[in-house]
Amino acid sequence: MTMMQSLKPAEGRPVWHGGRIDYRAEGLHVLSAAEIAEIDAALAHLKSLGPVDFPAITADTFPLPTLSGALRKLGDELRDGCGFMLLRGLPRERYSLDDMARIYVGLGVHIGRVLPQSYFGELLGHVIDVSDIEAQARGYHSGGAQRMHTDTCDIVSLMCVHAAKSGGASRIVSAAAVHNRLLETRPDLLALCYEGFVCRRMPLDAELGSGVVLKTVSFFSRATGALSTNLSGDYPRRAAAAGDVTLTPLQLEALEVLQEIARSPEFYLDMDIGEGDIQFLNNRAILHGRTEYQDWPEVTRRRHLFRLWLEVANWPALPANQGMHNADDHRGWLRQRTPFMEVPSRYLAEMTQRKAELVS
């Protein structure tokens, strides 16, 4: 049996079309007064322990006697349902930026294990445009719209702490719906997505991690039984630019057609993440990106979201033919981490100082 003969459509709740779904009905949880009070008590307990670095925030140091059960169920819902959830109702004005980060990590550890996100070893990512400060800024440190992609984790999450001047909605797409449209219209391209693309990793991610530079990644896989997605068009193009591989015309077409389907209003769902909102996405089932936005010039006023990558213990392991990073990378990256490096007030102070030095 050939690859094309074995292809079959995805089914169930993970298959949805953005033009027909309302996230407020399908994936919105508004925190109750009792739940917020429990979060406040957990924050007070954490701060009573003295300076606690992010790796030391655990279910014990940030106790949520009742809410923890709901957060564990959230992980199950993300795996088996539509793949997205938005928590709303956290009163942003009540908390400092650093306390927002503590709360965010505290909630995250009740869902899964917090993973490092790059060779820097950061556990809490800062999604903010500092491309005028950092040379060769990565995607989450750059502004503007983002193409649809996945990361390498079970759950990717964002907390908004500063909104953009305008725009900057989170755009999400059911990967299963994209898969099915490819099966209907271009099964030849879908077969290529299963076969995989040679990808070149970011140099320092590889060097300071596992040492593996090239990896063949399948955009779609059924190795765990369920359909799993891992998509980034940048890594295959980086491999081609380095001369590692030559992308065939059909492979290039597959990269473009995937994006073409994902950016169709029929498929995408725009989700406004307001200040204090927290978005959780099943990274194996949802493609995510963002719309264009206008930002503020001052670093401390810019659109700013925190990001977590979570690994969930009771989920099947990520298929071997997917994921740009693995446990060996995580161990290497964490060796680069310095204590309290992600604390927002410190991070913004450093960026502000660096910008001032560039201007002078």
354 domain-assigned: yes
Residue 210 falls inside a structural domain: no
- Tokens encoding 44: 């007070």
Dihedral sign (CA 226, 231, 235, 236): positive
> How many domains, in total, are found in the chain?
1
Identify the three-state secondary structure at position 269: strand
Considering the domain boundaries, does residue 321 fall inside one? Answer: yes
Beta strands 125-127 and 146-149, pairing class: unpaired
- pLDDT per position as a tens digit, 258-313: 999 999 999 999 999 999 999 999 999 999 999 999 999 999 999 999 999 999 99
191 vs 202: CA distance, rounded Å: 26
User: pLDDT means per 10 residues in the chain (360 residues)?
Assistant: 71 95 90 97 98 98 96 93 96 97 98 97 96 88 93 97 95 98 97 96 95 96 93 92 97 96 96 96 97 94 97 92 94 97 96 89
The reported pLDDT for the residue numbered 3 is 60
Q: What is the pLDDT of residue 1?
A: 38
Q: Decide if 158 is inside a domain.
A: yes
Answer whether residue 180 is part of any domain. Answer: no
Residue 16 lies in a domain: no
What domain range includes position 47?
Answer: 22-173+269-359
In a domain, 4, yes or no: no
Neighbouring CB atoms inside 10 A of 264's CB total 15
CATH classification at residue 309: 3.60.130.10
In a domain, 75, yes or no: yes
Contact 227, 150 (CB under 8 A): no
The pLDDT score that the predictor gives to residue 4 is 59
- Res 233: pLDDT: 81
Q: What is the pTM of this model?
A: 0.95
